[in-house]
Amino acid sequence: MGNATSKIQNNWGWFLALGILMIIGGTTAIFAPFAVSLVVEVIVGAFFVIAGITMLIQVFTTNDGWDARITYLILGGFNTFAGVMLLFRPLEGLLALTLVMITAVFVNGLLRIAVGVMARPEAGSGWVIFGGVISVLVSIYLITFYPEVSVTLLGVMVGISLISEGASYIRFAYGLKSDGPVSA
């Protein structure tokens, strides 16, 4: 175990380089959110097509009976159709993905509020509720700007995610270099 840790510590520079590249990529994504949004949309569409085709192949290769075959056929057809629509109608796909993302943030916020309320009076439950309220408020704010926000939201979210992950890798690298604690 100590040998593996030593190898990781000796390569702290790679983690630093990865963090810097992620921050550069995230900053670029924030300054070009429409292009990044389209790239994300195309990637999602491609994954849907690949998943759909895989499920359609399973219709003919599974030994699980007709119920499973019908399920694979329906899901495979739907996923393939959704992926093709995302690939060939990218602007409409951005609208759909943005609406799904806003809905997911809203539902996630409601669930965090519920979990925080159920966890009362445990320490930290107030922060869980607070985070849930923020998610609900952000989703309500974003839906008021829908559909205009659709062309940039995914790109901005990718940029923010890359910057925060890059910062984490840089922190991790310096923790490895100093032989100190590397936890977040």
H helical segments located in 32-152: 33-61, 66-88, 90-118, 125-144
pLDDT band for position 157 (50/70/90)? very high
**pLDDT at res. 182:** 54
pTM for the structure as a whole: 0.75
**pLDDT at res. 22:** 96
DSSP H/E element including 166: helix 153-177
pLDDT band for position 65 (50/70/90)? confident
Nearest to 47 by CA among 57, 55, 36, 58: 55
Long-range interactions of 71-78: CB distance < 8 A, separation 24+: 76/51, 76/52, 77/52, 78/52
Is the pLDDT score of 68 beyond 80?
A: yes
CA distance linking residue 105 with residue 109, whole number of Å: 6
- Calculate what percentage of the chain has a pLDDT beyond 70: 95
